Amino acid sequence: MENYLIVRTSNSKRCLVFINKITHILEDEEGKAIIVFGTEKVYCSESYIEIMHKITTPVYQNSAIFNMTNSLYWASGKYIHADPTETYEISNYTIKSLTHSLMELFIWSEDYVE
């Protein structure tokens, strides 16, 4: 898990927050997060729930892994269910690309599977 967090403040500026420096996190009346560092406070535009999710959720996948899983999901789902009005059929290149993406996901997942 990252030891820092980038949040957007209430005045739309980005702020780098080191998680180990946070004293506590409050929720204002609108549900927005207030991050407290001793006597200093950062008023966030994100909700309390969003901030807590960012802090407590480990980072398992980066954008490349997300894009591979997303393309596998949509391409497979679209062409598994036959649509008689569809005029385009995927090529061998698409099949090879999806196969390589799947193999890459297998390699990546070895770190998370026992």
Whole-number percent of the chain with pLDDT over 70: 91
More confident residue, 113 or 18: 18
Whole-number percent of the chain with pLDDT over 90: 16
Distance CA 80, CA 90 (A): 11
User: Which of 32, 52, 30, 53 minimizes the C-alpha distance to 42?
Assistant: 32
Q: Which residues pair with 9 in a beta bridge?
A: 44
At residue 90's C-alpha, the angle toward residues 86 and 95, to 5°, is 150
The DSSP letter of residue 38 is T
**Mean pLDDT score of the chain:** 83
pLDDT in tens, 24-80: 899 899 989 999 988 889 999 988 888 887 776 666 667 788 888 888 888 877 777
Record the tokens describing residue 74, joined without a space: 């949509």
